[in-house]
Amino acid sequence: MSLRIFNTLSRATQVFSPIEPGHVRMYVCGMTIYDLCHIGHARMALVFDVVQRWLKVSGYRVTYVRNITDIDDKIIRRALERGISIRALTDEMIGVMHEDIGRLGIEVPTLEPRATEYVPQMLGLIKQLEAKGLAYQAASGDVNYAVRKFPGYGKLSGKSLDELRAGERVAVQDAKDDPLDFVLWKAAKESEPEDAKWDAQAMGYGYGKGRPGWHIECSAMSCQTLGETFDIHGGGVDLQFPHHENEIAQSEGASGKPLANVWMHNGMLQLDNEKMSKSLGNFFTIREVLTKYDAETVRFLLVRTHYRSDLGYSDAHLDDARNSLKRLYTALDLVSPESLTSIDWENPFAARFKAAMDEDFGTPEAVAVLFDLASEVNRSSNPQLAGLLKALGACVGLLQNDPKAFLQAGSKLDDAAIAQRIADRAAAKSAKNFAEADRIRQDLLALGIVLKDSAAGTTWETTK
């Protein structure tokens, strides 16, 4: 079965075929760096981490570009609040971001361009658009994109100019010719710090001091790193309009070529049925979450829901994810996995897993296969199947920890103390003092330790 991906642009699931055989070029809109990343950011990064992992498992070479926005109003404001330079703030926040998402097993992309490193390329693109009559400089000094002059505007989001016109606001005098137009180059303000300004005049572009608008960043960076047309463009569904729509208008307006053949959008993480975001103030940082839950539990929660679906977030969801993940690790703990150098995709479990992932990265169905396989491992005690379980888990970044360490994480007692209590319980049972044996079990349970009896003896795991 060939890999099929739902394309937001065509609104259909279609067979994926890269432009260059064997090589996938993918661009994903990354984070705006001014504060700690929240768990909603983690979902986006993890979705496309799984995508690039599966593309590699499928035999493709992948050039994965995930950009960093390191200049915008929020960044400028935060740097001023803290009394530090913009570069000092963004360097700090990028380091923190790498640490936080790295703990979730999110692999480093091939390239991670920063917007501030591509300002000349942005200005060159703006100049191209101006030469084609798609951009103009307003009296305010801003350079704007003339939306109505691009015939394909709205094709990604499905929004027509009539719909947009119905909700338009009155244009600000001297700022835009049309309320639908958006800014490509923001003229500098006296109140802004000098490190937020680039001298476009000195760089040969004639626009004066300023900084790029948000949308032009990704058009310039994707074109420079992947070419004028590439295979996959991804990001959160909240970016579909206006950000991605504006990217298409800019890039295709300049080149006359399609920007990306496939557009992928992940659903939102929701708290109380509202999108989790910093602007709404209803978010949890990755660091906050990881003080209460281990990283693989968080990853599992995000992986087991299909990337295009919205996902409810709560402690209850995480508790359920932890308990589910423990079932998989219990199978690996009971049967030592045989080391596999490669996956036999003819195996019925592997074939089902592949079929699920090849159908628009169907992680819910793929995770269901892992549970079916774990049940078979428990039944058969087959180390080769246990090895397959671990290998398939690796395809989506799961089940690579030591099973015992995972199951026993967070214990309030050391191993020796628990072993002594298990021995005391065994002695009580041998003496037919079942009340004492039950008391020891309950005492351990109160400390978050669950005893599990089997023919091989008594093992334990934590409740969290």
DSSP string, 178-190: STT-EEEEEEP-T
Rounded Cα–Cα distance for residues 35 and 55 (Å): 31
> Which amino acid makes up residue 48?
F
Long-range contacts of 174-181 (CB under 8 A, 24+ apart): 174/138, 174/139, 174/140, 175/138, 175/140, 175/142, 175/144, 176/138, 176/142, 176/144, 177/136, 177/138, 177/144, 177/146, 178/146, 178/147, 178/148, 180/147, 180/148, 181/144, 181/145, 181/146, 181/147
The two three-digit tokens of residue 395, written as one number: 């395809």
> Which amino acid makes up residue 217?
E
Residue range 314-404 forms a domain whose CATH class is mainly alpha
Give ranges for CATH 3.40.50.620 in the chain. 4-266
| pLDDT at site 362 | 98
Q: Could you tell me if 67 and 217 are in contact, meaning their C-beta atoms sit under 8 angstroms apart?
A: yes
Order of strands across the sheet that contains 61-66: 61-66, 23-28, 230-236, 260-266
Q: Could you tell me if 214 and 244 are in contact, meaning their C-beta atoms sit under 8 angstroms apart?
A: no
DSSP characters over 376-412: HHHHH--HHHHHHHHHHHHHTT-S-S-HHHHHTTT-S
| Superfamily of 4-266 according to CATH | HUPs (3.40.50.620)
Rounded Cα–Cα distance for residues 58 and 35 (Å): 36
| pLDDT at site 387 | 98
Residue matched to tokens 């390239």: 111
Residue 120 to residues 140, 185, 215, 313, 428, Cα–Cα distance (Å): 21, 12, 15, 41, 77
SS3 state of residue 147? helix
Query: For residue 371, what is the DSSP state?
Result: H
Rounded Cα–Cα distance for residues 303 and 362 (Å): 10
Q: Could you tell me if 41 and 78 are in contact, meaning their C-beta atoms sit under 8 angstroms apart?
A: no
| pLDDT at site 117 | 97
Q: What is the pTM (predicted TM-score) of this model?
A: 0.91
Rounded Cα–Cα distance for residues 195 and 209 (Å): 11
| Count of alpha carbons within 13 angstroms of residue 192, beta-carbon side | 19
Q: What is the pLDDT along the chain (464 residues), one digit of tens a residue?
A: 699 999 999 999 999 999 999 999 999 999 999 999 999 999 999 999 999 999 999 999 999 999 999 999 999 999 999 999 999 999 999 999 999 999 999 999 999 999 999 999 999 999 999 999 999 999 999 999 999 999 999 999 999 887 776 555 544 555 788 999 999 999 999 999 999 999 999 999 989 999 999 999 999 999 999 999 999 999 999 999 999 999 999 999 999 999 999 999 999 998 766 666 656 666 789 999 999 999 999 999 999 999 999 998 889 999 999 999 999 999 999 999 999 889 999 999 999 999 999 999 999 999 999 999 999 999 999 999 999 999 999 999 999 999 998 888 776 667 777 777 877 787 877 787 768 767 878 877 666 678 777 666 777 777 66
Query: For residue 243, what is the DSSP state?
Result: I
340-354 pLDDT tens trace: 889 999 999 999 999
Q: Write down the H helix ranges in 106-197.
A: 119-131, 161-166
State the burial class of residue 431 (Cβ atoms within 10 Å of its Cβ: 0-12, 13-18, 19+). Answer: exposed
Give ranges for CATH 1.20.120.640 in the chain. 314-404
Rounded Cα–Cα distance for residues 392 and 394 (Å): 5
> Which amino acid makes up residue 18?
P
| pLDDT at site 206 | 86
| pLDDT at site 248 | 98
Paired residues of 4 in beta bridges: 15, 359
Return the closest-CA partner of residue 9 out of 253, 259, 305: 259
Q: Which helix (H) or strand (E) holds 93?
A: helix 86-103
C-alpha 388: how far from chain center: 26
Query: For residue 194, what is the DSSP state?
Result: G
Name every residue whose Cβ is closer than 8 Å to that of residue 97 and which is 6 or more positions away in sequence. 31, 33, 37
